[in-house]
Amino acid sequence: MGKVIALSSNKGGILKTSLAVNLSGTLATHGKKVLLIDMDNQGNVATTFGLDPDDIEFTIYDLLVKNPELANPDLALNKVSNNIDIIVANDDMAYFEIDVLTDTEHYPKYFELLRDVVSLFKAKYDYIIVDTPPQMGLIAANVFYAVQDVIIPFQPEEYAFRSLVKSVSAIDKFKKVNKELQVKEIVPVKVKRTVMHQAYLDSAKSYAKARNLQFSNIIIKDSIKYAEMVARMNIPVTLFDDVPKTLMPYKKVYTELAKELGYIG
């Protein structure tokens, strides 16, 4: 049975999607079969692989609301590499919370919809990775019901520190109903060599230590290289076979992260 992992934070713009797709790429290149599920209506997982999310017939929304037109759940799978399938999100997910909460008679277990979807695919994959939007609403609740490991990206700035505390607090609440749920690791991202960033990193490390949470030794530096390569090649850098020497550190850091997380040997 595959391990289910989420990249989650209630702050936007802190590389959740970049972490999700590059971690997926690393696992795939190490022979792991990966399903990448997008829960964010922006649809950035699809665009990373050169797909237009609005052109995809069946998305995560259809699976969550059990669209009767989707006779076979496998129709929502989109193969993007030898070992990676994705389930796309698009603008339909912007209406998910309204559609479900205004029809609770039809969706009585509205926190468990993603868990039902995951159960359809869990036996087919080594890892299921869930990319999430930066909100702590019904979508986040579904994620915390369905996953085992939560990786929290942390940008070393004031607002991100507040978001880190709120994210951990929300996860703690859902541990009561999902006994497998844990903060797997806090990963520093968009890090610059500044006194301010170092100060916030130190504060976050102290917070993690006080809460007995793992704080990653791997740092994802602030760089446009990831976005540049996606724009040029329509795949994350970790899936490149012939990476130029100048870009090798950007690929290698994700291998190191996957090893630190214990997902590869």
Cα separation, 34 vs 48, in Å, equals 16
pLDDT of residue 231: 66
Number of domains in the chain: 1
Q: Which pLDDT tens digit goes with each residue over 110-151?
A: 999 999 999 999 999 999 999 999 888 999 999 999 999 999
The SS3 of residue 148 is: coil
Between 244 and 171, the higher pLDDT residue: 171
Would you say residue 60 has pLDDT above 80? yes
Q: What is the CATH number of the domain that holds 194?
A: 3.40.50.300
Tell me the pLDDT band of 227, cut-offs 50, 70 and 90.
low
What is the reported pLDDT for 226?
64
Please give the Cα distance from 216 to 7 (Å, whole number).
Answer: 14
Query: For the chain, what percent of residues have pLDDT higher than 90?
Result: 75
pLDDT at 225: 64
DSSP letter, residue 60: H
Instruction: Give the residue from 86, 2, 15 showing the smallest Cα distance to 46.
Output: 86
Q: Residue 59: give the domain boundaries.
A: 3-261
Chain centroid to Cα 15, Å, comes to: 9
What confidence score (pLDDT) does residue 79 get? 98
The CA angle 130-67-48, to the nearest 5 degrees, is 35
